[in-house]
Amino acid sequence: MQIHEFGNPDASIVLIEPIHTVDGMAHEAEIIRELAGDRFLLRAVNVDWFRDLSPWTVPPVSGNMAFGNGARETLERILELTGDPEKKFILGGYSMGGLFALWAAYQTDAFAGVAAVSPSVWFPGFAEYTVSNCLRTGRVYLSLGSREEKTRNPVMATVGDRIRELYARLQAQSIPCRLEWNEGNHFMDPDRRTAKGFAWVMKELNT
């Protein structure tokens, strides 16, 4: 498991993010510093995007790439990074990384909060999973681009409805959460969007 670190190694807050490329991570860390200060260490963990972040096997939704079921193994490896009881850990991610962060929050209470940025909550079976399972984290940041639900792909086009439903469910459960809408499609400003998510959770930890 290749890990790239950015920020303050002595910080009491550790941000963990699964990534498929390290490009843009230094920029993301800089934006987090601008928004929430330098009291964090960001650990970016390289993964296989379609295999390692998927909680169960799903046939191709777009193109020819099927989704594996490697999320549980990935979570086990990530949990090895959360052993210091003196630190608070926040799990976050973009797209499938955001889906993984949400799914992980139903598996463990190791994370003080999650930042699910443009998460793939259209993922078949995930909405039903969130209804029948209990979230085990204290703070949840959600965001979506304003044009993401306008895609022609009928499965991915459900993302808007799914994220609204999840947000309403978290509110009904009195879980501190935020749903933020950003301008543009799924591929616009992922560094800044993810940084905003992490920064929100960091600030919530101090309230």
Q: Which residue has the tokens 């096997």?
A: 57
Instruction: pLDDT tens for the chain, 207 residues: list them.
Output: 799 999 999 999 999 999 999 999 999 999 999 999 999 999 999 999 999 999 999 999 988 889 999 999 999 999 999 999 999 999 999 999 999 999 999 999 999 999 999 999 999 999 999 999 999 999 999 999 999 999 999 999 999 999 999 999 999 999 999 999 999 999 999 999 999 999 999 999 986
Residue 196 C-alpha from the chain's centroid: 12
Write phi, then psi, for 157 (nearest 5 degrees): -70, -15
Region at 139 (left for phi over 0; alpha for psi -120 to 50; beta for the rest): beta
Task: Name the DSSP class of 58.
Answer: B
pTM passes above 0.85: yes
Strand partners, 19: 46
